[in-house]
């Protein structure tokens, strides 16, 4: 999993407008991107600074976004952001975000739901397989 962190300086009294722009314009754009997983946005209590962290399946997915759609994001935020956003990139080392490292894909179903689904499907649940074998 790969992460992008963008630090922004917000224009005076624009925190609410920034939040609305993220919800209405930016997140829908991000959801269309290959490999996008999640967006987390923070605003300081005074509303002067913001940080956005996006999570991606692979570095290549985040780079493709940076080369393409990110310019649309910058344009959409120009009315609420001043200065140049500062970008940092990271390999994710630890996370509680639902993610299956074997397949390198997000697992948006929490573990409890995966277990329920597996329990309903005998081929996926070893205990159920064993019980069925003992009944025969």
The answer to whether residue 101 sits within a structural domain is no
Whether 13 has a pLDDT exceeding 90, the answer reads: yes
Q: What's the pLDDT at 131?
A: 53
- Shared-domain flag, residues 2 and 47: yes
Q: CB burial class (10 A; 0-12, 13-18, 19+) of residue 104? A: exposed
pLDDT tens by residue, 82-118: 999 999 999 988 888 775 544 444 444 444 333 333 4
The answer to whether residue 79 sits within a structural domain is yes
The answer to whether residue 100 sits within a structural domain is no
Q: What's the pLDDT at 120?
A: 42
The count of structural domains within the chain is 2
The residues facing 88 across adjacent strands are 5
Which residue range forms the structural domain that includes residue 32? 1-93
- Shared-domain flag, residues 10 and 54: yes
When mean pLDDT is compared across 13-17, 21-25, 76-80, 108-112, the lowest value belongs to 108-112
Question: What single-letter DSSP state applies at residue 45?
Answer: T
Three-state DSSP at 24 gives helix
Q: What's the pLDDT at 115?
A: 38
- Shared-domain flag, residues 67 and 121: no
Mean pLDDT of the chain: 80
- Do 33 and 26 contact (CB within 8 A), yes or no? no
CA angle 94, 98, 104 (to 5 degrees): 75
Q: What's the pLDDT at 40?
A: 95
**CATH no. for residue 33?**
3.30.70.100
The answer to whether residue 98 sits within a structural domain is no
Whether 42 has a pLDDT exceeding 90, the answer reads: yes
User: What percent of the chain clears pLDDT 90, i.e. is strictly above it?
Assistant: 66
Q: What's the pLDDT at 104?
A: 46
The answer to whether residue 135 sits within a structural domain is yes
**Which residue, among 17, 36, 34, 29, has the nearest Cα to 72 in the 3D structure?**
29
The answer to whether residue 17 sits within a structural domain is yes
Parallel, antiparallel, or unpaired for β 36-43 and 49-56?
antiparallel
Whether 132 has a pLDDT exceeding 80, the answer reads: no
- Return the residue matching tokens 């993220």: 22
Q: What's the pLDDT at 93?
A: 87
Whether 134 has a pLDDT exceeding 80, the answer reads: no
The answer to whether residue 99 sits within a structural domain is no
Confidence of residue 136 (pLDDT cuts 50, 70, 90): low
């Amino acid at each position: 999993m790969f992460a992008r962190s963008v630090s922004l300086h917000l224009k005076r009294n624009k925190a609410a407008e920034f939040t609305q722009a993220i919800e209405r314009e930016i997140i829908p754009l991000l959801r269309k991107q290959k490999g996008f997983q999640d967006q987390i946005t923070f605003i300081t209590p005074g509303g002067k600074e913001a940080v956005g962290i996006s999570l991606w399946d692979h570095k290549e997915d985040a780079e493709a976004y940076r080369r393409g759609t990110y310019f649309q994001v910058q344009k959409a935020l120009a009315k609420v952001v001043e200065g140049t956003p500062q970008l940092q990139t990271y390999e994710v080392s630890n996370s509680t975000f639902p993610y299956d490292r074997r397949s390198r894909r997000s697992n948006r179903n929490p573990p409890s739901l995966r277990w329920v689904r597996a329990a309903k499907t005998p081929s996926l649940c070893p205990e159920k397989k064993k019980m069925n074998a003992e009944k025969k």
